[in-house]
Amino acid sequence: GAVVSQHPSWVICKSGTSVKIECRSLDFQATTMFWYRQFPKQSLMLMATSNEGSKATYEQGVEKDKFLINHASLTLSTLTVTSAHPEDSSFYICSARAGSQETQYFGPGTRLLVL
Amino acid sequence: GEDVEQSLFLSVREGDSSVINCTYTDSSSTYLYWYKQEPGAGLQLLTYIFSNMDMKQDQRLTVLLNKKDKHLSLRIADTQTGDSAIYFCAESMYGNTPLVFGKGTRLSVIA
């Protein structure tokens, strides 16, 4: 099956710093990537939809200036958490969809801890 | 808006069958998915079903869809300890729309 990787798998940072998370589709071209956030013992909440070469579409309540998304190529999307604060600590998961394929393939997730 | 509901916990004995239930509200849901999440890991697609199907079987997994009642179930036959995980039900209207997830059902398998 299709493989999606994320890097880093976990990160600890100080409050006020920015953190970049990469999402890569390893064996297919992902025209659309999705970024989700998961709080402990809760479901995934969609943050934004990212289409290659265009601006991301953010869900209501998600600050686009806080969570910068770049989808510069068909195999890479990045999420940058700017000026991170402890409340941004969470599990961030990306998924990728290839063209007309219906299935979303998920990355392994990145655990962010902001101190 | 769209909503997907699941029971939060299920405990079964090893070797028994597990049935995880899910209900959804959006009658225009076209694709319905089951994902598995092991501790600290991302989501693994287990199976999915189109809304024009009633049942789909894949080895130990059987998905049943009652479109009239908007009810989806996942049956795991001969449940093993390695099946212990959180199982998420998800739906989407079209193949290219984001998924709406349930809160997940934590399956515990007792040896």
Residue with tokens 């392994």: A108
Give the best residue of B9, B96, B106 to mutate against chain A (max A CB count within 10 A).
B96
Cα separation of A100 and A85, whole Å? 38
Judge whether residue A109 has pLDDT over 70.
yes
Element of type H or E holding A45: strand A44-51
Q: In terms of CA atoms, which chain A residue is nearest residue B38?
A: A108
Q: What are the distances in angstroms from CA B31 to CA A14, A115, B65, B94?
A: 41, 40, 11, 7
Residues A38-87 have pLDDT tens digits of 887 778 889 999 888 888 999 999 999 999 999 888 999 999 999 999 99
Nearest to B101 among A43, A101, A105 (CB): A43
Judge whether residue B95 has pLDDT over 70.
no
Half-sphere exposure of B71 (CA within 13 A, CB side): 7
Nearest to A43 among B41, B92, B104 (CB): B104
The pLDDT of residue B78 is 97
Residues 10-49 of B with CB under 8 A from A: 31, 35, 40-45, 48
Cα separation of B12 and B29, whole Å? 30
Q: What are phi and psi of A88, to 5 degrees?
A: -85, -10
Q: In terms of CA atoms, which chain A residue is nearest residue B103?
A: A43
Cα separation of B103 and B111, whole Å? 26
Report the DSSP pairing between strands B105-110 and B9-13.
parallel
